[in-house]
Amino acid sequence: MKKTVITYGTFDILHVGHINLLRRARELGDRLVVGLSSDEFNQGKHKSSLLNYENRKAVLESIRWVDEVFPEHNWEQKIGDIKKYGADIFVMGHDWEGKFDFLSEFCRVHYLPRTEDISTTEIKRSLSVVVKDAANERS
């Protein structure tokens, strides 16, 4: 029987950490579906993305380990999504460990280790420094 794996994220500024998560999640099953945070959901979480939902979705859909991408509009939709997509395994990075254990009533919950030394937050911080430095050089 085929196993479906489900995961969620914003996936802004795609980097090797995202790729590793998606690859390792897909290795746990036969099909990977990804809930991609909508722009409105990100605003509600006080997060900003450099790329809008449609751009982030197109990038995710081009990754060979991703079989389907759907919008994540709120925290509460996960149980419905697990049922809708027939997910057998829910996967998130280990920085979320314990936060989604309540989903184990509906499928297996698995936390994957994050890739060391890379994060979207750090990339954004570095970009901010580069932009500020460039602006200072022009002044």
Q: Which residue numbers are catalytic? A: 45, 47
- Which of helix, strand or coil describes residue 4? strand
Whole-angstrom distance, CA of residue 51 vs CA of residue 49: 5
Whole-angstrom distance, CA of residue 43 vs CA of residue 52: 11
Cα distances (Å, whole numbers) of residue 89 to 33, 68, 85, 108:
11, 15, 11, 5
